[in-house]
Amino acid sequence: MDEGRIARGLRLSRLSWSVVRQRPGLLVIPAVSMLIQVAGSVLLFGPWAMDLVDHHSRGRLFLDAAIGAYPATFVVTYFNVAFYALAAATIDGRPLTTAQAFERTRSRLWAVASWAFVATVVGAVLRSLEQLPGGGLAGRLVEWVGDVAWSLASFFVVPVLALEDVGVGTALRRSAATIRRTWGESVTGAALIGFGSGFVVLAFIGVGALGVAIGQAGHVAGYGLTALAVVAVAALIAAQSALIMVFRLAVYRYAVGAGGTGPFATADLEAAFKPRRRRRLPGR
């Protein structure tokens, strides 16, 4: 990645943060969503779940995991719809509280539940490819290709559900059409947010591990250090999620020409999302 793209990506990260810091809810929503997901994972896949592993077939375990994934997918979708509604209002300068954003989400409850179901089913089908008889490497390759295709097609589904009163089918078609029409040559903002914060997260994980080692050596303060590191990692992940979603919202609104893009200049977004170049066939 050249220096110009890095600088542009860092600028987009700063612009995303300028939106997030205007509304505390834009940090609270992903943080609470993450806490609920962690709590749900502990309940579903804690040590007590090992009894299920010992007494159920692989097919049954796969089905149970798929069923267990639905609540997590629903929670993520529900909170993200509220986030996008609040972020759009913030960018537009419209008054909207976090509570009102969730009221908007409740009015879209059927669409949220439907999309969570579709996403869970597709995810389960993709995961099942590797389990097919004779799947092996070919199954993993098909799964990977399917994952990429599905991720691209569904890239903008949640922003569409948050901003437009449409059903899941229409949202998926609009998302896929937007991807086909404008291809992300290099979404440097989102990539660099994840890349940069990833190093910081790893650093705090290292601090947490050091704290555990100190604690095991007989110094109780080490566990306090670990607790602080865990809180810091959670906060960083929530902030990372918020910045990426704000950037994605701005890119979507720019791509479809619907709504403002706040502090993001046209040149910033054009650099991240350029019209896809069609390959010319030889002789044409």
> In percent, how much of the chain has pLDDT > 90?
24
- Summarised one tens digit per residue, pLDDT across range 119-174 is 988 888 887 776 665 556 766 787 788 888 888 888 889 999 999 999 999 999 99
Q: Which range among 61-70, 182-191, 204-213, 275-284 shows the weakest confidence by mean pLDDT? A: 275-284
pLDDT for 235 beyond 90: no
Residue 194 maps to a domain: yes
Cβ-proximal residues to 90 (8 Å cutoff; 6+ apart), any chain = 19, 22, 23, 26, 96, 262
Residue 281 maps to a domain: no
Residue 196 maps to a domain: yes
Kindly state the tokens that stand for 107: 């009015």
Cβ-proximal residues to 40 (8 Å cutoff; 6+ apart), any chain = 71, 72, 75
The domain containing residue 27 runs over which residues? 3-275
Instruction: Please tell me the distance from the alpha carbon of residue 275 to that of residue 266, in angstroms, as a whole number.
Output: 14
Residue 116 maps to a domain: yes
Residue 266 maps to a domain: yes
CA-nearest of 262, 273, 201, 210 to 236 is 201
pLDDT for 198 beyond 90: no
Residue 280 maps to a domain: no
| pTM score, whole prediction | 0.81
Length, in residues, of the chain:
284
Instruction: Please tell me the distance from the alpha carbon of residue 136 to that of residue 191, in angstroms, as a whole number.
Output: 31
Angle, vertex CA 25, rays to CA 150 and CA 70, nearest 5:
35
**Tokens 């409850």, residue?**
109
The pLDDT score that the predictor gives to residue 46 is 55
The residues facing 182 across adjacent strands are 275
Residue 284 maps to a domain: no
Instruction: Please tell me the distance from the alpha carbon of residue 25 to that of residue 54, in angstroms, as a whole number.
Output: 43
The pLDDT score that the predictor gives to residue 279 is 47
The pLDDT score that the predictor gives to residue 247 is 85
The pLDDT score that the predictor gives to residue 250 is 86
Cβ-proximal residues to 128 (8 Å cutoff; 6+ apart), any chain = 62
Q: State the chain's mean pLDDT as an integer.
A: 78
The residues facing 183 across adjacent strands are 274
Domain total of the chain? 1
The pLDDT score that the predictor gives to residue 3 is 47
* Residue 202, number of CB atoms within 10 A of its CB: 11
Instruction: Please tell me the distance from the alpha carbon of residue 19 to that of residue 88, in angstroms, as a whole number.
Output: 10
For residues 14-22, give the mean pLDDT.
88
